[in-house]
Amino acid sequence: MKRNKVEICGVNTSQLPVLSNAEMRELFTRLQNGELAAREILVNGNLRLVLSVIQRFNNRGEYVDDLFQVGCIGLMKAIDNFDLSQNVRFSTYAVPMIVGEIRRYLRDNNPIRVSRSLRDIAYKALQVRDALTNANLREPTIQEIAEKMEVAKEDVVFALDAIQDPVSMFEPIYHDGGDPIYVMDQIHDEKNKDSSWVEEIAVREALNKLSEREQKILAMRFYEGKTQMEVADEIGISQAQVSRLEKNAIHRMNKHVQS
């Protein structure tokens, strides 16, 4: 099958080489033994990895050539720092470094500029956080960081927020040859569990089986927060009748939901 020719920075992407794991290990061994020619082969053999990463940033309006060059810088840093003794695939190690390099580039070239003073506060806060973590063997609170810096807590929060990049819910955070794990997979939301959704449907169905007056009593009691006496005055019956109707309605709903 003939591949379409796509050039980025003068590189024909359809002709990029692909290295096997065995070839990668051999090249890293040669590189770590001082053979610099192995580094160039490793770079060229992993350019497809850079291409796969920059596709995530297609909607940023940046030139693909620029992102590719920045991604290659991240790739070279990953190659220079990769440790063969660690039991991890190179792609797993390299992707976060490539992504980080591109994000730094996008942040520094963001048209919505963060003021120099705000950036200084943020980077100083990060340094203080690391120092306090090392000293106390725990993550410091924002208040502790602010006190150490002698600035208002609100200023620290605002500065740290200002230098954060938005993260897509579909951002892969781990990929090691199998299915990737996305940000959304790591977010726990009690309100949106399947069981909660099913229970909500069951409650609605149970409400529909009540009489109009019973529905009105429950709505006034539990949605509007009115007392039984207030409900009785509004619909023109005794408080005892409201209590009896409310209990019967709740009992019938429970039977329907549990059935």
Cα separations (Å) of 38 from 24, 31, 32, 90?
Answer: 10, 5, 9, 15
Cα separations (Å) of 219 from 212, 216, 230, 233, 242?
Answer: 11, 5, 13, 15, 12
Q: What pLDDT, on a 0 to 100 scale, did the predictor assign at position 4?
A: 41
Give yes or no for a contact between 93 and 78, defined as CB atoms under 8 angstroms apart.
yes
Structure tokens at 188: 């726990």
**pLDDT tens-digit profile, the chain (259 residues):** 334 444 555 566 666 778 888 888 899 999 888 888 999 999 988 988 888 888 888 766 677 888 888 999 999 999 998 888 877 788 888 888 898 888 888 877 765 555 677 778 888 988 998 889 888 888 889 899 999 999 888 888 888 877 665 555 555 555 555 555 555 555 555 554 445 555 666 677 778 888 888 888 988 888 788 888 888 888 889 888 988 898 888 888 887 766 6
Q: What pLDDT, on a 0 to 100 scale, did the predictor assign at position 196?
A: 52
Structure tokens at 241: 């009748």
Give yes or no for a contact between 173 and 181, defined as CB atoms under 8 angstroms apart.
yes
Q: What structural domains does the chain harbor?
A: 7-108 (1.20.120.1810), 116-188 (1.10.10.10), 191-258 (1.10.10.10)
- In the chain, what are the helix, strand and coil shares in percent, each to the nearest 5? 70, 5, 30
Q: Which residues pair with 174 in a beta bridge?
A: 181
Q: What pLDDT, on a 0 to 100 scale, did the predictor assign at position 73?
A: 92
